[in-house]
Chain A
Amino acid sequence: MISRRNLIISGAATIAAGSLVQSLARGQATTSATQTTSYIPVVTPNGSTLPWTMEDGFKTFHLTAEPVKREFSPGMVVNCWGYNGQTPGPTIEAVEGDRVRIYVHNKLPEPTSIHWHGIILPNGMDGVSGLTQPHIGVGETFVYEFELKEHGTRMYHPHADEMLQMAMGMQGFFIIHPKTPRPPEQRVDRDFCIFLQEWFVPPGAATPNPMVMTDFNLFTFNSRVYPGTAPLVVRRGQRMRIRFANLSMDSHPIHFHGHHGVHTATDGGEIPPAGRWPVVTLNVPPGHTMDLEFVADNPGDWPLHCHKNHHAMNAMSHDVPNMTGVDMSGVEKKVSGLLPGYMNMGAAGMYDMSDMKMPLPPNTLPMMAGDGPFGPIGMGGMFTIIKIRDGIDESYADPGWYAHPPGSVARKVAGPAAATQRRIVYTCPMHEEIRSDKPGRCPICKMQLVPVK
């Protein structure tokens, strides 16, 4: 006898199959609104989450590997390679225990494959071109099917001509939520994904040079540089998590302000609570994912940035003559007689670069940029802002700049305060009448002078 349960399931399957046919035809699946999600979905700043459909019990995703144009920040567009028109590719999000089916269509000019970094699966689904599968040829579509046997932050990336394809921006997150959610007091309320990458784009040009090994000039969060990086908006009191993934050639020590955090997981699994490392700077080496958690209890606008100092700047040359501390008075006039647009730069440091709006080569970003409520911020590269406020609603819209409570902002004072000027006076232990403002010996008995208490 056909039970109601069977009818509903088969009906759902028919509906799902129907919509699958439609979605296959359109090439873009719709998120299945009928599935209830038991997890807080991750936010990929400046990115997106890959929609899925249910297809005979498999959570089904579609990825197209193709060249994409990516705006790193307004004023610079880069010729990258990615998935579904984006770099990083859209975040795949699923639940431990799901069976996933991922169609991969190759529109690149060369063969590719996808490796599911850190995921336990049958060898043949590992995605290593030539070793575990034939490569996905140009114009071909392959399918991967496997069951998710664990949870955590994982990645997906090519495993054919990897050096070039990853240098061109082919990477994405694979987030697997736990089957059993955490107890409420430990539940993460805001969950972010940030993919770290390094590039060399010749200034004035638009294509990354994949052969560069160490001398990169652009450093990105989710293939964006500051001031093009979207802020992380969090309600005060929320437990937030930032999942970092790194497929670049260098480690990135990611630093955050105003809070102490904990390193809670790697792409090998959760770190037991006793083993969690307290950090204000979390190092993310190449090939790793790292999860960082803290409670956002300190309101304000807090930077989140790589602490390798050059990585928080946009492209600059390292061969420019060092003008630091050079007196250029009078020389500027001589040069600007020949070159009317010329101005001395760098003689008093580079702070001026953040303020001046000088004309630049086409498709080139200023080395230091970004304006804040108190003036130019002068950063670039791997830099973004965590905005923690009361009263943030579910839209998590950008709340603007933090309104500081009165008296809590560093302020200028007029002249050196008398209290800060402490003159040290020296005297002789034997002869109190002797006073000197330098250390030395007493003129009477030749004893060492000591400071007056």
Chain B
Amino acid sequence: MKTIRLIACACAVAASVITGCAARPDAQRGGFSSVRQITHDRTGGARIAWRAGGPADAQVAREVDAMLAQPLGPDQAVQIALLAHPKLQAEYEHLGVAQADLVAAGLLRNPVFSAMARWPSGGGGPNVEIGVAADFLDVLFIGARKRIAAAEFEHEKLNVADAVVAHAAEVRAAFYQVQGARQMLELRRTVLTAEEAATETSQRMLAAGNISQLDADREQAMLEQSRVELFDAEADTRQKLERLAAAMGMPGRIERLQIPDRLPAPPGGDEALDDLVDRALEQRLDLAAAKQEAVALERSLGLARRTALVNEAEVGVSTERDPEGGSGRVTGPNISIPLPIFDFGQARVASARHRLAESRRLEQAMAQQARSDVRIAYADMTAARRRFEHFRDHVLPLRQRIVQQSQLHYNAMLIGVFELLEAKQNEIDAGREYVAALTDYWTSRAELERAVGGRVAATAPSTQPTTIPAASQPAMPDNMHHHH
């Protein structure tokens, strides 16, 4: 009876010093909602959802289906990826792990109950020993441990958020690649139409006896070469589409993706480099995570210092019924403390100190890398911008004018249909270079957003997009009539 009361008492003591309530790993609570808040603006307003196996999962699935039924923009593609991709769901589970670790840090170590029964070899009743012991230093350090765990939890949240933002940028880049490839494909098809017209004309001329088989074959050879280039463009488009589908978390369902065939018109200007570098250093989540890790390691160092000499001490109570002794039962407290003779925590402290220094250095290195990332991506984006602007403002208008003038020269029978078609092809080729530059612009812009750790603003609205290829030809006069 006494024994049982003893145990209960010890448990009560232990229970009373438990501070903090155990948080249930609830997808709606705590860590995940912070991640949701952190990522919201950085992904351009996309929502995240942790499919934890509840009824909300069906809702998310319906939402994704509804989005797929509409034409997608880059924002929608990002949204679908954040809801559907299993890689991100794995990240959210990792958050759950960190959350559980945080809870575990706030729990006191359980007291230990021990019982022993020994029978004397000579016979007689057993020697029963019962005791309860607990680590009393635990109570002193639990606060520090919880603070360390809290810092590590923050670190983990930032890591998860960073993974989300990085993935969003990846989806965006893949999206633009698809649009660029599709636009290129459309232009290649137009080039092919021009070449087919030229080849068919030469076939008709051959049939009428106006050119030789040699001339007709030469024309055909160019066409067949172009056909191969078209196949390559089709393959490239398909590959990019599969990559996008993979990034969105739905491989094999590319037919469901309704993606506009044209890249969006680029903005008139982009944020300045210095502003972007500053923003990157402020808002990049991997930098923030590194900072947070340093905080955790600093707290660990503090704890290591405090517990250098003694980090555990056991205190307990035990009772023994001694058949040999006169009173029949002995009861009393016990205490055990490791003596810091060999190990007085010097290794643990040194390790913690270096870990902290390491993380600080890493933080510096990451900050430098972040600056570089921004500068490189910015340079790429600016180069692409210069290219597409030059094509849009100089090369394409010239090519369009050449086509118009060629049409006039054709009307006067000063050039033939082959030269006219060639002028058109050259215009379309210039259009393809424009599209390539535009694709590079959008892709490197997505890369820049990755480097900045958030969206990049436009400093001027987009101007009218160029029609590619241009259809501006001199109008036919009203008194035209055909003699054919």
Contact = CB atoms under 8 A, between A and B. Distances in A.
Contact of B413 (A325, A328, A329, A346): A346
A353 interface: yes
Given A338-B190, A339-B407, A340-B471, A345 B413 contact: yes
**From DSSP, what is the main secondary structure of chain A's interface residues?**
loop
A49 to B, nearest CB: 36
A423 interface: no
A338 B469 CA distance: 9
B424 A339 contact: yes
Given A204-B405, A348-B483, A341 B416 contact: no
A347 B207 CA distance: 13
Interface stretch (B36-44, B195-203, B391-399): B195-203
Contacts of B210: 321-326
Given A334-B196, A341-B476, A366 B412 contact: yes
Interface string A331-344: 10011011111111
A306 B78 CA distance: 76
Contact of B403 (A331, A339, A352, A366): A339
A41 B320 CA distance: 158
B194 interface: yes
B216 to A, nearest CB: 12
A338 B414 contact: no
Contacts of B421: 335, 338-339
Contact of A316 (B200, B201, B413): B413
B412 A367 contact: yes
A353 B407 contact: no
B204 interface: yes
Contact of A317 (B408, B414, B424, B476): B414
- How big is the A interface, by class? 35 or more
Given A321-B418, A344-B484, A357-B477, A331 B197 contact: yes
A316 B414 CA distance: 5
Given A328-B201, A339-B424, A367 B208 contact: no
A320 B413 CA distance: 7
B24 interface: no
A358 interface: yes
Given A315-B414, A359-B474, A342 B408 contact: no
B273 interface: no
B333 to A, nearest CB: 99
B4 interface: no
B415 interface: yes
B258 to A, nearest CB: 26
A339 B473 contact: yes
B169 to A, nearest CB: 38
B482 to A, nearest CB: 8
Which of B193, B205, B412 lies at the interface centre, i.e. has the most chain A CB atoms within 10 A of its CB? B412
B411 interface: yes
Contact of A338 (B194, B208, B412, B476): B194
Contacts of B205: 321-323, 326
Contacts of B437: none
Contacts of B477: 357-359
Interface string B199-222: 011001101111100000000000
A347 B416 CA distance: 12
A84 B484 CA distance: 49
Contact of B420 (A323, A342, A351): A342
B196 A360 contact: no
Contact of B417 (A335, A340, A341, A358): A335
A327 B210 CA distance: 11
A325 B208 CA distance: 6
Which of B211, B471, B483 lies at the interface centre, i.e. has the most chain A CB atoms within 10 A of its CB? B483
B398 to A, nearest CB: 16
B479 interface: yes
Nearest to A335: B197
B410 interface: yes
Contacts of B471: 340
A235 to B, nearest CB: 38
A203 B476 contact: no
A194 B403 CA distance: 40
Contact of B193 (A338, A347, A348): A338
A335 B197 CA distance: 6
14 contacts: A316-B413, A317-B413, A319-B416, A320-B416, A323-B416, A326-B201, A326-B207, A335-B417, A335-B421, A338-B197, A342-B407, A343-B482, A361-B405, A367-B412
Given A321-B416, A323-B205, A335-B420, 5 more contacts: A203-B409, A338-B194, A341-B476, A358-B477, A367-B412
Interface of A: 203-204, 315-317, 319-329, 331, 334-335, 337-348, 350-353, 355-361, 364, 366-367
The 7 closest A-B pairs by CB, nearest first: A358-B411, A341-B473, A321-B416, A320-B416, A361-B408, A359-B474, A334-B197
